[in-house]
């Protein structure tokens, strides 16, 4: 692992945590070549506030032929620019966390993870409609359009759910499906 930052103070602070560190200006393609960045299979660009540096660094990595470039974007527009110049993976941490928190605050979900624009996985307390009978008989998938994939009983670890799994009040379940379907399922009576 090679960590690079233009700020010498940051480099000194993280120097003991990484295999290698360097204080360098990644907007300069010659500097990236000297560091051998083109030989890395994956690179993460975590520049968040300096859009110009983020875009130039990403462009230099694309030109260097890096196979997998992950870049933090501050806005969707910033992400679009990064995609257009060749970044392979765009990360929008503020947007993603804001969406996740909005789902948690507005409903009964204990956790929410979006996998696509319309597909999610949630952690929630089991609603009454799945209680006391095997999941295969509860018709959760056909009725609600969701699939229960995991279950955690009080005091136990999570385990995968099967058609024979019987859910009880107080169980925490992991449910997956279209975003609107899992949102509605999380709101069912407890």
DSSP per residue, 71-130: EE-SSHHHHHHHHHHT-SEEE-HHHHHHHHHHHHHHSSEEEEEEEETTEEEEEEEPPGGG
Residue 84 has a pLDDT of 96
Residue 173 has a pLDDT of 95
Angle at 7 between CA 19 and CA 44, to 5 degrees: 50
Assign domain 95-186 to its CATH superfamily: Regulator of K+ conductance, C-terminal domain (3.30.70.1450)
Q: Which residues contact 57 (CB under 8 A, 6 or more apart)?
A: 26, 27, 45, 47
Tens-level pLDDT at each residue, the chain (190 residues) = 789 999 899 898 888 888 889 999 999 999 999 999 989 999 999 997 899 999 999 999 999 999 999 999 998 899 999 999 999 999 887 766 666 666 666 667 788 888 877 899 999 999 988 888 899 998 899 999 999 999 999 999 999 999 999 999 889 999 999 999 998 998 887 6
CATH number of the domain located at residue range(s) 2-91 in this protein: 3.40.50.720
Reported for 50-54, long-range contacts at CB under 8 A and 24+ positions apart, including other chains, are 51/78, 52/27, 53/6, 53/26, 53/27, 54/78, 54/82
d(CA 25, CA 11): 12
Nearest to 123 by CA among 137, 134, 132, 112: 112
Q: Where in the chain is the domain with CATH 3.30.70.1450?
A: 95-186
Residue 187 has a pLDDT of 87
Q: Where in the chain is the domain with CATH 3.40.50.720?
A: 2-91
Residue 105 has a pLDDT of 63
Containing 55, the helix (H) or strand (E) segment is helix 51-63
Report the sign of the C-alpha dihedral through residues 64, 67, 72, 76, in that order.
Answer: positive
Residue 78 has a pLDDT of 94
d(CA 32, CA 66): 11
Q: Which residue has the tokens 């998938």?
A: 141
Nearest to 184 by CA among 131, 127, 130: 127
């Amino acid at each position: 692992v090679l960590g690079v930052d233009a700020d010498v103070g940051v480099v000194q602070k993280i120097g003991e945590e990484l295999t290698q560190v360097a204080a360098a200006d990644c907007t300069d393609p010659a500097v990236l070549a000297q560091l051998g960045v083109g030989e890395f299979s994956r690179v993460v660009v975590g520049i968040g506030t300096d859009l110009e540096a983020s875009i130039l660094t990403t462009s230099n990595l694309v030109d260097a032929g890096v196979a997998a470039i992950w870049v933090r974007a501050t806005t969707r527009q910033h992400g679009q620019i990064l995609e257009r110049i060749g970044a392979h993976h765009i990360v929008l941490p503020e947007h993603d966390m804001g969406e996740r928190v909005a789902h948690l605050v507005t409903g009964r979900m204990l956790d929410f993870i979006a996998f696509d624009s319309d597909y999610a996985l949630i952690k929630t307390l089991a609603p009454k409609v799945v209680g006391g009978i095997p999941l295969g008989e509860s018709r959760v998938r056909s009725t609600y359009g969701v699939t229960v994939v995991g279950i955690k009983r009080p005091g136990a670890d999570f385990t995968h759910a099967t058609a024979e799994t019987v859910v009880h009040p107080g169980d925490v379940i992991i449910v997956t499906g279209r975003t609107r379907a899992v949102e509605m399922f999380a709101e069912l009576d407890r």
